[in-house]
Amino acid sequence: MAYLVNGNDIFKAARENHYAVGAYNTNNLEWTRALLRGAKETRTPLLIQVSTGAAKYMGGYKTVKDLVLNEMNNMDIDVPVILNLDHGDFESAKECIALGYSSVMFDGHNLPTDENLAKTKEIVKLAHERGISVEAEIGKIGENQGADGGELASVEDAKTFVAAGVDKLACGIGNIHGVYPEGWTGLNFDRLKEIAEAVPNEPLVLHGGSGIPQDQIEKAIQLGIAKININTEFQLAFQAATRKYIEDKMDLDKGNKGYDPRKLLRAGTDAITDSMKEMISWMGTAPIDSKESSVQFDEASLNEE
Ligand SMILES: [Zn+2]
């Protein structure tokens, strides 16, 4: 039966061996299947994550977890899968811990630093009691506006949050959620390098991975980024393929039932998997049977169902 892993070994192996593992957001049934298929076909580990908004859309955190596990069974998924809450607040992080997500991100960046740290520690305690991994955000990731990209993470905060027990650290280093604006100044590699040296063992996370040029992605991975969050890239791939399906008038082909949602959504769904495979090659994600992954997945299992 399908089970989830917390991914700590996976991301540690990635940082050690200078590759990254993608963290991909799901939005619905098709997205979930497209991501599971991409992982199965490339034999790479998969982190599926859900934002609070997408979880609400899909019917709640339990619906998302049940969907992922059921599809893992249906699709005979034999690569490790991590289910992560993306940008959770305190309440949603606690809810996902109770539900048995294998990883949660507690995003307290808009709280005063003391309160963020105190709440992060509480989440770490609750999560670690159950073998669940925790990600925190330091600095501020930009929000699709302003070419300077949010607020830089400080080296001091990196050390403090790692000392608080955080397993993965999302750093503001000029990265931005959504589409990168004209005139974006690029990633701040000097700061990334300082943080990576201050916390030499913890996997660092790059949010807003969609639309960053390949050479910057590769450099960030060399410096310590081990998890790259990708969402917009796949939304754009889905949108372009769906637009083409309709512009080619395939939805009007009544003989072939081109209007059937299962057919209407097929091209977009395939495009997500194709785009994912391209990102996996950019990030150099090691297949599970390669020596670079060097992870004992059975031992890391939790939440057996
Ligand atoms: Zn993010």
Going along the chain from its start, the domains and CATH numbers come out as: 4-302 (3.20.20.70)
Distance 256 CA to ligand 1 centre (A): 40
Q: What is the pLDDT of residue 273?
A: 98
* % of the chain at pLDDT higher than 70: 94
Q: What is the mean pLDDT of residues 55-80?
A: 97
Q: Which of 56-70, 170-184, 273-287 has the lowest mean pLDDT?
A: 170-184
Residue 75 has pLDDT above 60, yes or no: yes
Q: What is the pLDDT of residue 191?
A: 96
Q: pLDDT averaged over the chain?
A: 93
Distance 214 CA to ligand 1 centre (A): 19
Residue 298 has pLDDT above 70, yes or no: no
Catalytic residues: 86
Q: What is the pLDDT of residue 146?
A: 60
The whole-model pTM stands at 0.93
Write down the H helix ranges in the chain: 8-16, 29-42, 52-58, 61-74, 90-99, 113-129, 155-163, 189-198, 214-223, 232-247, 261-264, 266-283
Report pLDDT digits (tens) over 9-53: 999 999 999 999 999 999 999 999 999 999 999 999 999 999 999
Q: What is the pLDDT of residue 130?
A: 97
Q: Tell me if residue 173 falls in helix, strand or coil.
A: coil
Residues 6+ apart with CB under 8 A from 300: 5, 6, 7, 8, 9, 10, 80
Q: What is the pLDDT of residue 145?
A: 60
Report pLDDT digits (tens) over 280-297: 999 999 999 887 775 544
CA distance linking residue 153 with residue 144, whole number of Å: 18
Q: What is the pLDDT of residue 290?
A: 83
Distance 175 CA to ligand 1 centre (A): 9
Distance 115 CA to ligand 1 centre (A): 20
Distance 79 CA to ligand 1 centre (A): 24
Report pLDDT digits (tens) over 117-173: 999 999 999 999 999 999 999 988 887 666 666 789 999 999 999 999 999 999 999
**301: pLDDT confidence band, cut at 50, 70 and 90?**
very low
- Residue with the bigger pLDDT between 143 and 100: it is 100
CA distance linking residue 75 with residue 37, whole number of Å: 8
Residue 102 has pLDDT above 70, yes or no: yes
Pairing of strands 301-302, 204-206: unpaired
Distance 109 CA to ligand 1 centre (A): 11
Residue 258 has pLDDT above 80, yes or no: yes
Per-chain residues with Cβ under 5 A from ion ligand 1: 207
Distance 171 CA to ligand 1 centre (A): 10
Residues 6+ apart with CB under 8 A from 222: 18
